[in-house]
Amino acid sequence: MKTKLLWASSKGSSLIITLAVAGVLTGAVLYVNTKVENAKKTLIAITNDSKTRFAMAGVMSYGRYILKSRFCINLSTGIPDPNCKISNANNLERLLLSNSVALAFCNYYQKFPTISADLAPYCAVGATQKLPLREFQFDIKTSQILLAHPLYSLLANTDYGLKGDFIRFKYSSTADEAHSTRINVKITAMVCKSTDCNKTDDKTTNHLVAKAVSEQIFFQNQINQFALVLNRTLNLGPPNVHGAFSDNYLKASSDHKITFGSPVFLNNDINLPEYNNIVSDNVLFNSHTGVAGAASNIS
């Protein structure tokens, strides 16, 4: 009888141990599975965050580019508008205008009101609008981003696209600082919660998806930064082409070549005549060239 009792007791103990081990293994599997699921969620979140950062960096690059290029912007698409004048309300260059520069424009308007009639809303007697801009804002709806749009690959791409209804570009300027202009560029991607959400930043109507901020500093051109400043036409041909007068830069150069490495400003035009192909082939302007004569639309 004792032997049978011991055997029955042994069988009961084995069953308990087996159940205990099974419970431990089940718990371990559940624990590991939870850890794997959490790791997967974390990896997805990191990947999505990286994609959003990548997309916002691209959108910010576009925002800086159109500012540095001083474009006029189509407010509904965010694409540069080729019909661009300094008087246009959507001209980004107006963010860089100081009050003194605006005054110079208005003085010009007072002297020549007919040929500068576009300045009348800002410079005519009793005008209430100001030519310099201190803030400028426009929105791009992602539904309007088509294949030809510069931001298509960033906003419409299903893999890297920003998940938002519109992108807001906002510029704030401090153009009256002594030697530089600081422009704060703020770009936000938002999801609409109401039909008028693109008119406000109110959190009750908008849901913020992502935000990027950058500060651009523009330094004024000082007179000593120019390679050449002339209050007349620059004549780069020999005397027998321009009569008695010529700028003999080519003649003074040993290899009959001249390169302007810094900006050039002329209060009239540039003459680059064909003269045995010497002038036109051997004059290089490596920086911005500003002319105020008949060819002022060419720079």
* The pLDDT value given to residue 224: 59
* The pLDDT value given to residue 297: 42
pTM: 0.61
Please report, to the nearest 10 degrees, the dihedral formed by the alpha carbons of residues 221, 223, 225, 229 taken in order: 110
Q: How far apart are CA 146 and CA 144, in angstroms?
A: 6
Q: How far apart are CA 4 and CA 34, in angstroms?
A: 45
* The pLDDT value given to residue 264: 84
Q: What one-character-per-residue DSSP string does 181-242 give? A: EEEEEEEEEEEESSTTGGG---TTTEEEEEEEEEEEEEEPPPGGG-SEEESS-EE-S-HHHH
* The pLDDT value given to residue 137: 93
* The pLDDT value given to residue 170: 94
Q: How far apart are CA 181 and CA 69, in angstroms?
A: 15
* The pLDDT value given to residue 200: 59
* The pLDDT value given to residue 204: 57
DSSP 178: S
Q: How far apart are CA 212 and CA 29, in angstroms?
A: 43
Which tens digits make up the pLDDT trace of 227-245? 788 878 887 765 555 444 5
* The pLDDT value given to residue 299: 35
How many other C-beta atoms can be found within 10 angstroms of the C-beta atom of residue 38? 10
Q: What one-character-per-residue DSSP string does 37-94 give? A: HHHHHHHHHHHHHHHHHHHHHHHHHHHHHHHHTT-EE-TTT-PEESS--TT-TTBGGG
- Strands 206-219 and 180-192 come out as antiparallel
* The pLDDT value given to residue 229: 81
* The pLDDT value given to residue 260: 80
* The pLDDT value given to residue 242: 47
Report residues of the chain scoring pLDDT below 50. Answer: 1, 3, 5-7, 242-244, 252, 279, 296-299
- Extract the tokens encoding 87: 């008087």
